[in-house]
Amino acid sequence: MNYIFIALRDAFKLIITLDPEVSNVVGTSLKLSLTSTFFAALLGIPLGILISKIEFKGKYLLNTILNTLLSLPTVVLGLFVYSVISRRGIFGEWGLLFTNKGIIIGQVLLILPIVVALVRNAIHDVDEKMYKTAISLGATGSQKFRLLISEARYGIIGALITSYGRVIGEVGVSMMLGGNIKGFTRTITTAIAMETNKGRFSFALALGIILLSISFIINFILYYFQSGESK
Amino acid sequence: MKNIIMEANNLIKCYDQEYVLNLENIKVYEGAFNFLIGSNGSGKTTLLNILSMVDTDFKGEVIYKGEKIGKEKIDILKLRRKFSVIWQNPYLFKGTVRYNIGLPLRLRKVKKEIIDKKIDKISSELEITNLLNKKHNELSGGERQKASIARALITNPEILFIDEPNNSLDYESAKYFNNLFSKLIQDGITILMITHDLYQIEHYADYITLLDQGKVIKTGLYEEMDI
């Protein structure tokens, strides 16, 4: 039992002294997650709005697929992207495997369904009376669109925060597509897995505490926006 | 007899190949209290949506101040911005009452200082300055309606379209709104109101149009009508 306390003490020491290796891993994780969330937002927000507002054949099927993809195991997605970007894959020549770009592609694909589905729900939840009211107030087409986004803003921000939370805590995609290369593609989660196996328990614990803290901050912000919805 | 400010001819509106509106002619008189009455499903709200240009998906012609309204987006927007609508269950956008009241002016790109002045003026006139910093979901039914009326009046509309405003209001609030609308008529605003309230009709109506199954059954001066 004593080893846990010792590991905890050492872990906090690593955090407080801003250990370069810990900082590097955390920095890589934050940077990759932010980039992935940015690109997923860029694609997912317009898609979510379109799916919510436009009626088309196969919409029901698309929504079902979208909902299924919400719980996609990260290793399955990692496997799929691996098969596409590995040397024998169709994009093998691009040299994306074991690079940050490879991880970002995988992470974007992982959280894209989350962004799309939650944005779709946020837009769908806007009261139908909003449109009629906006028209009667003299809104142009683009003003009406801006009002719609503004009314759904808490839901949209919530979608992005949820996606960021999902992506920073995932391990499958980062491990399979990033290769866990020290100082380059090593993220918090892949480092925890490896360092634990190596017996560097305090190092893994330090990263675990940081990841948990990030998760707490993300949920704190998410709750703030969700409660903003009801205010 | 007052001047006709708005007229519509041969209006047709269908839902699922069924006529909800099929009327030859309707007139709205300037500076008068025009009432639209009729049973549920008679087409009153559909007609109000069309005349207020909220719904432009219809057949027929609408004439405003002697000019036929084109179907071009810009023509419709220009006309729509001369009107205001007060809905039965008003929708307030997420934000404060101040934000909501100023919204139509912001959509018209009016300067912030002017908007602030107008908000202060209208809220003082309607005695709702105490509501200005309240959020949209902190209001009672009557307060929501008051905020939506301030929002409708801040643009100085030429015609005010009102859809049964007293439906969910208590006696005091209903009395307040009736007096307010009566004052607006004295100020020269034209009102077209849907109502089921016989008291309102008896005390305030100048002109009445009775609808049934999408058609005008009776129309004219209140005093000359037998209803």
| Interchain proximity B94–A150, CB inside 8 Å | yes
Q: Give the model's confidence band at B167: pLDDT under 50 very low, under 70 low, under 90 confident, else very high.
A: low
List the single best residue of A125, A131, A132, A133 to mutate versus B (max B Cβ within 10 A).
Answer: A133
Q: Give the model's confidence band at A29: pLDDT under 50 very low, under 70 low, under 90 confident, else very high.
A: very high
Q: Give the model's confidence band at A7: pLDDT under 50 very low, under 70 low, under 90 confident, else very high.
A: confident
Over chain A, what HEC string results? Answer: CHHHHHHHHHHHHHHHCCCHHHHHHHHHHHHHHHHHHHHHHHHHHHHHHHHHHCCCCCHHHHHHHHHHHCCCCHHHHHHHHHHHHCCCCCCHHHCCCCCHHHHHHHHHHHHHHHHHHHHHHHHHCCCCHHHHHHHHCCCCHHHHHHHHHHHCHHHHHHHHHHHHHHHHCCCHHHHHHHCCCCCCCCCHHHHHHHHHHHCCHHHHHHHHHHHHHHHHHHHHHHHHHHHHHHC
Cβ under 8 Å to A: B residues 122-161: 135, 137, 151, 155
pLDDT confidence of residue A64: 92
Average pLDDT over every residue of A121-144: 95
Q: Is the pLDDT of residue A205 over 90?
A: yes
On chain A, the residues whose CB falls within 8 A of the CB of B77 are 138, 140
CA distance B162 to chain A (A): 12
pLDDT confidence of residue A133: 97
Q: Is the pLDDT of residue B178 over 80?
A: yes
Contact A105, A177 (CB under 8 A): yes
DSSP B158: S
Q: Give the model's confidence band at B34: pLDDT under 50 very low, under 70 low, under 90 confident, else very high.
A: very high
Measured between CB atoms, which of A127, A139, A231 is closest to B91? A127
**pLDDT per residue as tens digits for the range A103-123:** 999 999 999 999 999 999 999
CATH architecture for residues A3-226: Orthogonal Bundle (1.10)
| Interchain proximity B90–A127, CB inside 8 Å | no
Lowest mean pLDDT among A39-48, A188-197, B10-19, B207-216: B10-19
**Tokens encoding B22:** 């099929």
On chain B, the residues whose CB falls within 8 A of the CB of A148 are none
pLDDT confidence of residue B173: 80
Q: B98-137 b/e with 16+ CB inside 10 Å = b?
A: bbbbbbbbebeeeeeeebeebbeebbeebebeebbeeebe
Average pLDDT over every residue of B47-72: 91
On chain B, the residues whose CB falls within 8 A of the CB of A139 are 107
| Interchain proximity A135–B155, CB inside 8 Å | no
Global pTM reads 0.86
pLDDT confidence of residue A193: 93
Q: Give the model's confidence band at A231: pLDDT under 50 very low, under 70 low, under 90 confident, else very high.
A: low
Average pLDDT over every residue of A201-225: 92
| Interchain proximity B54–A132, CB inside 8 Å | yes
Q: Please provide the average confidence, as pLDDT, over all residues in chain B.
A: 91
On chain B, the residues whose CB falls within 8 A of the CB of A140 are 77, 107
Measured between CB atoms, which of B49, B104, B137 is closest to A137? B104
Q: Is the pLDDT of residue B227 over 70?
A: no
Task: Identify the closest residue of chain A to B80 by CA–CA distance.
Answer: A138
Looking up tokens 């994306």, which residue turns up? A96
**pLDDT per residue as tens digits for the range A164-197:** 999 999 999 999 999 999 999 999 999 999 999 9
d(CA B26, CA B48): 11
Quickly count helices (H) and strands (E) in chain B.
7, 10
Domain boundaries, chain A: 3-226
pLDDT confidence of residue A102: 96
Percent with pLDDT over 70 in chain B:
99
d(CA B181, CA B161): 11
pLDDT confidence of residue A230: 56
On chain B, the residues whose CB falls within 8 A of the CB of A231 are 135, 137
**pLDDT per residue as tens digits for the range A32-60:** 999 999 999 999 999 999 999 999 999 99
Q: Is the pLDDT of residue A1 over 70?
A: no
| Interchain proximity A132–B91, CB inside 8 Å | yes
Q: Give the model's confidence band at B168: pLDDT under 50 very low, under 70 low, under 90 confident, else very high.
A: low
Average pLDDT over every residue of A114-138: 96
CA distance A39 to chain B (A): 28
Measured between CB atoms, which of A127, A138, A153 is closest to B107? A138
**Tokens encoding B91:** 């929708």
**pLDDT per residue as tens digits for the range B60-76:** 999 999 999 877 777 78
Lowest mean pLDDT among A79-93, A157-171, A214-228, B182-196: A214-228
Q: Is the pLDDT of residue A226 over 80?
A: no
